[in-house]
Amino acid sequence: MPVYILKRVAYAVPVALAVSMICFLLVHLAPGDPLSLVLPADANQTTIDATKAKYGLDQPLPAQYFLWLTNVVSGDFGTSIATGRPVVSEIANALTYSLLLALIASVLGLVVGTLLGTVAGYWNGTAIDKIASAVAISGVSLPHYWLGIVLVVIFSVNLNWLPAMGAGESWSAERLKFMVLPAITLAAMPAGIITRSVRALVADTLGKEFVTALEARGLTQTQIFLHVVKNAAPTAIAVIGVQLGYLMAGSILVETVFSWPGTGLLLNTAILQRDIPLLQGTILVLALIFVALNLLVDIVQPMFDPRMKRG
Amino acid sequence: MSAFTAREPLLSVRDLTVGFKTDRGPITALDRISFDLGRGEVLGLIGESGSGKSVTMRALLRILPQKRTTISGSILMEGRDVLALKRRELASYRGNDVAMIFQEPSLAFDPVFTVGRQIAETVVRHKQCSWDAAYARALEMLELVRIPSAKSRLDNYPHEMSGGMRQRAMIALALACSPKLLLADEPTTALDATVQIQVILLLRELQKELGMATIFVTHDVGVAAEISDRVAVMYAGRIVEMGSAADVLKSPAHPYARGLLSSTIHGAMAGERVEAIPGMPPDLANMPSGCAFSPRCAMAMPECRNVIPAPASVGAGRSAACIRVGSVAA
Q: CB distance from A304 to chain B under 8 Å?
A: yes
pLDDT at B269 over 70: no
CB contact under 8 A, A210 and B112: no
Average of pLDDT values for B215-234?
A: 90
| C-alpha neighbours within 13 Å on the C-beta side of residue A267 | 24
Angle in degrees, CA B73, B77, B81, rounded to 5: 50
Residues of B in CB contact (< 8 Å) with A are 61, 63, 90-96, 99-100, 102, 104, 107-113, 121-122, 125-126, 157, 159, 173
Residue B272 has what pLDDT? Answer: 63
Distances (CA, A) of B107 to A212, A306, B153, B159, B160: 10, 16, 18, 10, 14
Q: Which domains does chain A have, with CATH numbers?
A: 87-310 (1.10.3720.10)
pLDDT at B90 over 90: yes
B chain contacts of residue A213, beta-carbon cutoff 8 Å: 100, 102, 107-110
% of chain B exceeding 90 in pLDDT: 58
Quote the minimal CA–CA distance from A190 to chain B in Å: 27
Residue B326 has what pLDDT? Answer: 57
pLDDT at B266 over 70: no
Residue A62 pLDDT class (50, 70, 90 cuts) = confident
Q: Could you give phi then psi for residue B265, rounded to 5 degrees?
A: -60, -35
Grouping H, G, I as helix, E, B as strand and the rest as coil, residue A44 is coil
Average of pLDDT values for A221-248?
A: 85
Give the residue from A79, A7, A46, A23 showing the smallest Cα distance to A277. A79
Give the residue from A101, A111, A116, A244 showing the smallest Cα distance to A180. A101
- The overall average pLDDT reported for chain B is 88
The CA R_g of chain B, rounded to the nearest whole Å, is 20
Angle in degrees, CA B232, B237, B239, rounded to 5: 25
Cα A158 → chain centroid: 31
Question: A44-58, B94-108, B140-154 — which is least confidently predicted?
Answer: A44-58
Residues B154-184: pLDDT tens digits?
999 999 999 999 999 999 999 999 999 999 9
Q: By CA distance, what is A215's nearest residue in B? A: B63
pLDDT at A201 over 60: yes
Ranges A40-44, A111-115, B5-9, most confident: A111-115
Q: Could you give phi then psi for residue B48, rounded to 5 degrees?
A: -75, 170
Grouping H, G, I as helix, E, B as strand and the rest as coil, residue A173 is coil
Q: CB distance from A222 to chain B under 8 Å?
A: no
